[in-house]
Amino acid sequence: MKRLQDKVVVITGGGSGIGAATATLFAQEGAKVLVVGRTAEKLRKTVQAINNENVSYSVADVSKVEDTQRYVADAVERYGGIDVLVSNAGFEGSFKPITEYTVEEFDEVMAINVRGSWLAIKHTFPELQKRGGGSVIITASIMGLSALGGNSAYVTAKHAAVGLMRTMALEGAPLRIRVNAVCPGFIDNDMMATIHSKIAPGGEALVQGSLSGRVPLKRYGTSEEVARLNLFLASSDSSYITGSAYTVDGGTSGSLM
């Protein structure tokens, strides 16, 4: 028996990286999957690569109320309900001291990472409740548990994501809805590539080498390694787990070196 047979899953940020890897794995495990993001081309590529009639996409900006209502309605119309939400869309923002950060930059990071997850849960909870419960996974970050100077908006946003997860686990428990957070470390995909060039334009390889050296396992993780943790948290294998933040970081957050 597949681990997510006939479960309906909504994955925001599903057009690339962790979201696309999660959609791929979940479809292999029997799920019906709606991937959500702003760029139709990326979403189309993800859906085509998975090549499964039970996977489709919805173009939406997770920071907007109407877009959120639309992608939730799309999932319900196409697949009959929602069992699992992976609130994964995220944006890293700028790397500079707070004195140089603009309010607009701060607001954009908060709108995507925090309001986006808050809205996703607000509009998905009633659907999960109709199915008698379900699982919500928020992609936070090790930056939601510890800090890196120079990235104040993202660190603040990911700490907020962990706080949101904890309070929603309490509201979800009587409804049999489990809510957990996944906290990746450095993952080898588009977001880290963007971060390398923001930190040191032209010196991307040096940044990656230096950051990899700080990981006890001495390498970046892959999106697929995060997807496997998502599968555990989405499936009944984690039936007694709620209100928890799981690191998938090669040991980074537990190390002083």
Stretch that binds ligand NAP, among 14-22, 74-82, 120-128, 228-236 (CB under 6 A): 14-22
Of 7, 42, 123, 178, the residue at the interface with ligand NAP (CB under 6 A) is 42
Q: Which of 114, 65, 69 is nearest to 87 (CA)?
A: 114
**Pairing state between β 55-59 and 8-12:** unpaired
Least distance (Å) between residue 132 CB and ligand NAP? 28
Q: Which of 247, 229, 122, 245 is nearest to 177 (CA)?
A: 122
Tokens at residue 192, please? Answer: 């880290």
Least distance (Å) between residue 207 CB and ligand NAP? 12
Catalytic residue of the set 57, 71, 154, 220: 154
CB atoms within 10 A of CB 202: 7
CB atoms within 10 A of CB 98: 12
Per-residue mark of binding to ligand NAP, 112-141 (x: CB under 6 A)? x--------------------------x-x
Q: Which of 103, 175, 96, 105 is nearest to 135 (CA)?
A: 175
Q: Would residue 154 show up in a list of annotated catalytic residues for this protein?
A: yes
Of 10, 24, 32, 37, the residue at the interface with ligand NAP (CB under 6 A) is 37
Per DSSP, 33 falls in state E
d(CA 25, CA 13): 15
Question: Is 19 a binder of ligand NAP (CB under 6 A)?
Answer: yes
Residue type, 99: T
- Nearer to ligand NAP by C-beta: 29 or 188? 188
Question: Is 252 a binder of ligand NAP (CB under 6 A)?
Answer: no
Least distance (Å) between residue 249 CB and ligand NAP? 8
Question: Is 90 a binder of ligand NAP (CB under 6 A)?
Answer: yes
d(CA 96, CA 110): 16
The secondary structure of 51-62 as a DSSP string is --TTEEEEE--T
Tokens at residue 18, please? Answer: 């962790």
Burial (CB count within 10 angstroms: exposed 0-12, middle 13-18, buried 19+), residue 82: buried
Of 4, 16, 50, 123, the residue at the interface with ligand NAP (CB under 6 A) is 16
Least distance (Å) between residue 192 CB and ligand NAP? 4
Of 11, 27, 85, 89, the residue at the interface with ligand NAP (CB under 6 A) is 89
Instruction: For the segment 168-207, give every residue that binds ligand NAP (CB under 6 A).
Output: 184, 186-187, 189-192
Task: Give the active site residues.
Answer: 154
- Contacts with ligand NAP by CB under 6 A lie at 12-13, 15-19, 37-39, 42, 61-63, 88-91, 112, 139, 141, 184, 186-187, 189-192, 223
